[in-house]
Structure 1
Amino acid sequence: MAYLEKRLPPMNTLVAFEAAFRHRNFTRAAEELHLTQASVSRLIRQLEQGLNTRLFERGRRDVTPTPAGEVLAETVRRTLGDLAMTADLLRGESRNSETLTVFSELVVASLLIAPCIGAFQHRYPDLTIRVFTSSEPLEAFDKDFDVGLRSGRWAEHSYLIEPVADDAIFPVCAPKLLQGLGGEVTAETILSCPLLHLAQAGGPWPDWKHFLHHIGVSPPPTLKGPSINSYDVLLDFAENGEGLALGWARSVKARIDAGRLVRIPNMLLPLPDHIAAHYSKRARPNPIAREFVALLRETASPLDAFSG
């Protein structure tokens, strides 16, 4: 641990790097940090010089992390997050039983939290419940929370993870597109169809390559088709007949029930315990958060109601 001052990059360069990595844009990072774009650019350049490596490829508007930038980002986000949570504890800003703060993905909030939040508030009428929703990963959330809810089990080094509900994915498309395929759709048929790809930030989402391997098809090295960074917009594209999309069973059910999308039959990738609660390992536990998660688990519809 000796000579840390010489070995560690300046903290302000790491904060600027984390924001730039998350936004993929120096200007938006500057707005978040209340700095100028030139200041963020200078801090990133200072960090690159200190590490003797390039962290971003600069475009006309956005920036793209290099492989070195991806490696650094994983450590920086974990370390800064741990520091922030520890600082909160030392300031005495840890949880209390009169407040429940929940961070949730947008889809999880709509599907699981919305149906039971009223019942939980009725159970604890004096409890202040705060729900923050975002498409950003919970590691990027800059506020303290008692429990984070999302799809996937990531960052297990920082969080205690408790399963809430299963999920599954399967191909969906517009009814006319399925009719145009004619007859039974096989795994090989999928490769001849236009495919829509999800590029949403947050973690290693199952993609077409994962799905095709699961159903016994070896995909080519590159799968063509547009990438969309919003799941809802991805499904909008599918509704408009632009191609096949992978739909998460719980979140796509309403569109299927309304007849706007149809499921390709006999193709399913189960995702056991995919929706999970995340509790910080460094935070003082709030027992009411555990009770809230237990209610979510009890009220979540069984998966066979969505993916039968």
Structure 2
Amino acid sequence: MRRNIPSSASLLAFEAAARHGNFARAAEELSLTEGAISRQIARLESLLKCKLFDRTGSRVKLNPVGARYARHVGETLERLDRDTQYITGMPEGNRSLELAALPTFASRWLIPRLSSFRKQHPDITLNIAARIDPFILTGSGFDAAVHFDHPAWAGMRMDFLFKENLVPVCHPELLTDTNLSSQLNELPRIHRRQNPEAWYSYACESGIVLDNPAQGVRYDLHEMAIAAALAGDGVALVPWMYVEKDLSSGALAAPWPKSVVLSKSFCLVKPVETGINDAALQAFEQWLRAEITDSGQ
């Protein structure tokens, strides 16, 4: 069936007029006459069989239908512009992968290792976007996601990668007491907002008494909690894999035991159906698993 899609000229004219709230300014931006803008919008309204602007004399204002359509058209044109610029900048013969990943995993573990991937696969461009929550992979524009195991991924292929275990860390200068259990109870606690019970669970598992496990500041990301710990603001319960370099360099200290109970399974989430980027995705997965093995995860 033939798609009922407006012309790009009509959409550009409408988007500019909606954004400016004025046909004259839209015409100036697009180097057209005001009459040309008006005709393009009239064609669009004819195609849609509804009015998009309320007209009072020479003045125009988006009506509710037009405002909603303008939002969707603006998002579509912006996405099309980004995709066009991206394709224009790709070397000939280059393949690309669109990967979604948890923000701290991407910035603290994955990206610092990508030079190795680029050396092995110089013809593959890996683009990474941060996603905190699971989402519907089909139709999202992503080829795969590195994320924690979750029922929301039902219907997708989930291949286990590693376990993420938490450990309390702090700036070494905060460790002034030889009684580490007592010190952990006294230090300000740093929480991750999405896991408010973590410190309580850690106290139960480790046997370390914490008078008020829920006390302390809360941040959305492990990256934020790590930054706070590096700044000496308190003790954060974060994944060991994200702070290995900081612990090795002495920037952070972890004198308390790792948690075994507080862990999540990370998976590579992929569509069930094969796609045009399967070979590139397979190359990335092989490299990723080798890096996980080498890092001892």
Q: TM-score, normalization: structure 2?
A: 0.55
Q: Does structure 1 retain, via aligned residues, the 8 Å contact 2:144–2:268?
A: yes
User: How far is the alpha carbon of 1:260 from its aligned partner?
Assistant: 2.3
Match of 2:253 among 240, 248, 262: 262
User: How far is the alpha carbon of 1:199 from its aligned partner?
Assistant: 1.4
**Corresponding position: 1:157 with 2:151:** no
Letter in 2 for 1:193: L
Letter in 1 for 2:130: S
- For the structure 1 residues 261 and 99, does the alpha-carbon distance in structure 2 shift closer, same or farther, using more than 3 Å as the test? closer
Q: Which residue of 2 aligns with 1:173?
A: 170
Q: Does structure 2 retain, via aligned residues, the 8 Å contact 1:213–1:219?
A: no
Q: In structure 2, what is the Cα distance between the partners aligned to 1:178 and 1:294?
A: 41
Percent pairwise identity = 17
Q: Does structure 1 retain, via aligned residues, the 8 Å contact 2:189–2:234?
A: yes
Q: In structure 2, what is the Cα distance between the partners aligned to 1:268 and 1:189?
A: 18
User: Residues 133-160 of structure 1: CA distance to partner in whole angstroms, max 9, x if unpaired?
Assistant: 315324288841111013x212231432
Q: In structure 2, what is the Cα distance between the partners aligned to 1:153 and 1:206?
A: 19
Match of 1:185 among 180, 183, 187: 180
**Corresponding position: 1:294 with 2:286:** yes
Is the partner of 2:289 in helix, strand or coil? helix
Matches within 5 A, 1:16-27: none
User: How far is the alpha carbon of 1:197 from its aligned partner?
Assistant: 0.6
Q: Which residue of 1 aligns with 2:190?
A: 196
Matches within 5 A, 1:28-177: 98-114=95-111, 117-127=114-124, 129-139=125-135, 143-150=140-147, 152-154=148-150, 155-177=152-174
**Corresponding position: 1:211 with 2:211:** no
Is the partner of 1:269 in helix, strand or coil? coil
- For the structure 1 residues 160 and 217, does the alpha-carbon distance in structure 2 shift closer, same or farther, using more than 3 Å as the test? farther
User: How far is the alpha carbon of 1:225 from its aligned partner?
Assistant: 0.9
- For the structure 1 residues 116 and 256, does the alpha-carbon distance in structure 2 shift closer, same or farther, using more than 3 Å as the test? closer
Q: TM-score, normalization: structure 1?
A: 0.54
Q: In structure 2, what is the Cα distance between the partners aligned to 1:270 and 1:177?
A: 26
Q: Does structure 2 retain, via aligned residues, the 8 Å contact 1:163–1:273?
A: no
User: Residues 84-137 of structure 1: CA distance to partner in whole angstroms, max 9, x if unpaired?
Assistant: xxxxxxxxxxxxx9432222223323455435544444554444x241231532
Q: In structure 2, what is the Cα distance between the partners aligned to 1:273 and 1:302?
A: 20
User: How far is the alpha carbon of 1:286 from its aligned partner?
Assistant: 2.0
Which of structures 1 and 2 has the larger relative contact order (alpha carbons within 8 angstroms, sep 6+)? Answer: 1
Aligned-pair Cα RMSD in Å: 3.6
Structure 2, unaligned runs of 5 or more:
1-63, 69-93
Q: In structure 1, what is the Cα distance between the partners aligned to 2:231 and 2:262?
A: 27
User: Residues 63-84 of structure 1: CA distance to partner in whole angstroms, max 9, x if unpaired?
Assistant: xxxxxxxxxxxxxxxxxxxxxx
User: How far is the alpha carbon of 1:291 from its aligned partner?
Assistant: 3.0
**Corresponding position: 1:237 with 2:228:** yes
Structure 1, unaligned runs of 5 or more:
1-38, 44-96
- For the structure 1 residues 270 and 251, does the alpha-carbon distance in structure 2 shift closer, same or farther, using more than 3 Å as the test? farther
Q: Which residue of 2 aligns with 1:90?
A: none
Q: Does structure 2 retain, via aligned residues, the 8 Å contact 1:172–1:261?
A: yes
Letter in 2 for 1:294: Q
Is the partner of 2:153 in helix, strand or coil? coil
Q: Which residue of 2 aligns with 1:15?
A: none
- For the structure 1 residues 109 and 206, does the alpha-carbon distance in structure 2 shift closer, same or farther, using more than 3 Å as the test? farther
- For the structure 1 residues 153 and 251, does the alpha-carbon distance in structure 2 shift closer, same or farther, using more than 3 Å as the test? same
User: How far is the alpha carbon of 1:278 from its aligned partner?
Assistant: 1.0
- For the structure 1 residues 205 and 156, does the alpha-carbon distance in structure 2 shift closer, same or farther, using more than 3 Å as the test? farther
What is the number of equivalent residue pairs in this alignment?
A: 203
Q: In structure 2, what is the Cα distance between the partners aligned to 1:295 and 1:280?
A: 19
User: Residues 143-178 of structure 1: CA distance to partner in whole angstroms, max 9, x if unpaired?
Assistant: 41111013x212231432212233321111121221
